[in-house]
């Protein structure tokens, strides 16, 4: 069925890297024509939450679900002030943690330190590899206690 939908131009496939050796998944997302068909047939659907690429949206959803399972109240694209964070998480004690997912581009991530000015207690950068972690660490101010860099694969 997937092949038929692909050939008909109703879905497109996206490869999501899980950042584990040899591990990835493929997800299907309706194309504009696919959404039009769903609307015409009056079939209910949900569009993915979040911003950015399909991979970025998938990771936002994955982090949100994993954190919620661990007891955090989460929201994708949450805002406490002037900017939105990829995933906002608040625990029962009121600790507010901004999760920023780095799928592409290091330089702009330094700007996400502004999350702290908006009232987040901590910023957690989620990156693809130890190499990216070291590169980002070199760009961030030294000795910040409320910043953490974690690997995306920890959330699989």
List the one residue out of 88, 9, 10, 84 whose CA is nearest residue 45: 10
pLDDT, the chain, mean: 95
Residue 100: is its pLDDT beyond 80?
Answer: yes
Tokens for 96?
């507010």
The confidence score (pLDDT) of residue 72 equals 98
**CA–CA gap between residue 64 and residue 66 (Å, rounded):** 6
Contact 38, 13 (CB under 8 A): no
Higher pLDDT, 110 or 154: 154
What Å distances lie between residue 4 and 22, 27, 29, 33, 35, CA to CA? Answer: 27, 15, 14, 14, 16
- Convert the pLDDT of each residue in 102-116 to its tens digit: 977 787 888 899 999
Q: Give me the mean pLDDT over the 42-68 stretch.
A: 95
Q: Give me the mean pLDDT over the 22-27 stretch.
A: 95
The confidence score (pLDDT) of residue 107 equals 79
Q: Give me the mean pLDDT over the 84-111 stretch.
A: 92
Label residue 82 by pLDDT band (50, 70, 90).
confident
Contact 139, 107 (CB under 8 A): yes
The confidence score (pLDDT) of residue 50 equals 94
Share of the chain above pLDDT 90, in %: 90
């Amino acid at each position: 069925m997937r092949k038929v939908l692909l050939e008909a131009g109703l879905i497109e496939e996206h490869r999501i890297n899980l950042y584990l050796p040899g591990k990835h998944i493929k997800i299907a997302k309706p194309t504009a024509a696919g959404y039009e068909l769903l609307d015409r047939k009056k079939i209910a659907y949900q569009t993915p939450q979040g911003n950015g690429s399909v991979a970025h949206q998938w990771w936002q959803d994955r982090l949100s679900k994993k954190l919620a399972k661990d007891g955090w109240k989460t929201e994708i694209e949450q805002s406490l002030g002037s900017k939105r964070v990829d995933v906002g998480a608040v625990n029962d004690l009121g600790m507010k943690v901004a999760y920023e997912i780095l799928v592409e581009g290091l330089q702009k991530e330094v700007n996400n330190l502004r999350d702290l000015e908006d009232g987040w207690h901590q910023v957690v950068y989620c990156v693809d590899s130890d190499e990216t972690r070291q590169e980002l660490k070199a760009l961030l101010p030294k000795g910040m206690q409320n910043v953490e860099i974690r690997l995306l694969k920890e959330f699989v």
